[in-house]
Amino acid sequence: MTSVADTLLDSDFADAVVRGLSQPRKVIPARYLYDRRGSELFEEITELPEYYPTRTETGLLNAHAPEIGRIAGTGKVVVEFGSGSSTKTPVFVEALRAAAYVPIDISASFLRDAAARLARMLPELDILPVAADFTKPIALPSAVKGRPMIGFFPGSTIGNLTHAAAVDLLRAFRATLGGEPWLAIGIDLRKNPRLIEAAYDDSAGVTAAFNLNLLARINRELDGNIPLDAFEHRAPWNDDLGRIEMHLAATRDVRFHAGGETFSLREGETIHTENSHKYTIEEARLLARAAGWRPVRYWTDARALFSFHLWRG
C-alpha cells in the first residue's frame, strides 16, 4: 500500500537519483538506502558480529539511561529522529518516564509496524508517529507542541552527514524541539580503521546486500534496468575525512536507464552511497557547541568504541 507520504518521498527519490547519477562523481544520498527492504537489511547488520555500534550503544543505554533521566528530568516528550525499528526506545522512554513518544522516520511503512510493535510492548505510552525526512524542518503533532522535549538520536546516524551538514541538522533539531530542549545522542568513536572496515564489509555479505539494494530499489521504483551483477560493494576508510565510505563499484563498463534517463559507468567507477563519520570525544563536544548545544555529560564503553552524549539547548 502506498501512503501520501510514500508518494511524496518517491518523487524526491527520482530527483535525487537522476541528479546524483548525472554528476562527474556519482553519488546518491544515504537516506535512500532505507526503504522497507533496506531498513530490514540494516536491522540484520546491527546483529552481525563485526558491527559493534549497536550492541555497544545498547549496553551504554542499559547502564546509563536512568542517570540520563535523573540529569535531564523525567516526564518529557521523547522525540526520536530516524527511529527505524525503535529497538533502543523502550529502555530510554521507560527511564525517562516519557509523557509521549514521537518517532520520526523516512520509511512510512516501517514506521507504522515499529509503532504498532512498541504500542504492544508499552500500552500506556502515547505514540505519535511522524513519517518525514528529518533533514528537513518538521512540524511536530499539535498534541505535543509547547511541552518539554528531549530529542533521542541513537545509532550514530549523525555520522552519515558531513561536519557542516551535521551542524545544520543539530541546529534544526533545536528548532524542531523548541523551548529549552535536551538531546541524547549516540556518536561512534574514531578507532583502528581495520575494525571499522570490518564492520562495514562483513563476512556474511549483509552490508553488501544492503548497499546493492539501492540499485534494486532504483529498478523497482524508477523503472530502471541496472544489471546488479555489474556492481560490487566497497567500504574504504577515508582517513583525511575521518569516515568510512560505502560505494557501489562497476566491475565492467555498464550502461542503463533509470528515472527516464540513460547513464553509463566505466569499469572501476563508483556510485558513492554513504558516509559514516567517526568522532573523537573532543570533536563530538565541539560539534555540539558549533550547533548551539551545551555538552552536559557523556558515557563510553571500556574499549572506547562508542559514545553516548547528553546535551542541553
Q: Give the binding site for ligand AVJ (CB under 6 A).
A: 45, 53, 155-157, 159-160, 200, 207, 274, 276
For the CB of residue 152, give the shortest distance to ligand AVJ in the complex, in Å.
Answer: 14
The distance of closest approach from Cβ of residue 106 to ligand AVJ in the complex, given in angstroms and rounded to an integer, is 12
Identify the helix (H) or strand (E) that includes residue 176. helix 163-177
* CA distance linking residue 112 with residue 107, whole number of Å: 9
Residue 225 near residue 254, CB atoms below 8 Å = no
Nearest to 93 by CA among 128, 134, 46: 128
- Shortest gap between Cβ of 272 and ligand AVJ (angstroms)? 13
Yes or no: say if 167 and 290 are a contact pair by the CB < 8 Å rule: yes
Residue by residue, DSSP assigns 220-232 as: HHTT----GGGEE
**Quick one: 82 or 181, whose CB is closer to ligand AVJ?**
82
CB of 237 to ligand AVJ, least distance (A): 13
Residue with cell 571499522: 196
User: For residues 185 and 230, which CB has a smaller minimum distance to ligand AVJ in the complex?
Assistant: 185
Nearer to ligand AVJ, 38 or 259 (CB): 38
- Which residues are CB-contacts of 136 (< 8 A; sequence separation ≥ 6)? none
Q: Angle formed by the axes of helices 36-45 and 206-221, to 10°?
A: 180
Which of residues 53 and 129 has its CB atom nearest to ligand AVJ in the complex? Answer: 53
Nearer to ligand AVJ, 69 or 151 (CB): 151
> Among residues 62, 93, 53, which one has the least CA distance to residue 303?
53
Q: Point out the residue whose Cβ comes nearest to ligand AVJ.
A: 276
Checking DSSP bridges between strand 149-153 and strand 77-81, what pairing results, if any? parallel
Taking the least distance from each CB to ligand AVJ, the nearer of 74 and 135 is 135
* Contact between 80 and 74 (Cβ < 8 Å): no
CB 281 within 8 A of CB 304: no
End-to-end CA distance of the chain: 39
CB-wise, 80 or 274, nearer to ligand AVJ? 274
Residue closer to ligand AVJ (CB basis): 85 or 276:
276
Residue 27, C-beta contacts closer than 8 angstroms, at least 6 positions apart: 20, 271, 272, 273
Query: Cell 542517570 sits at which residue?
Result: 67
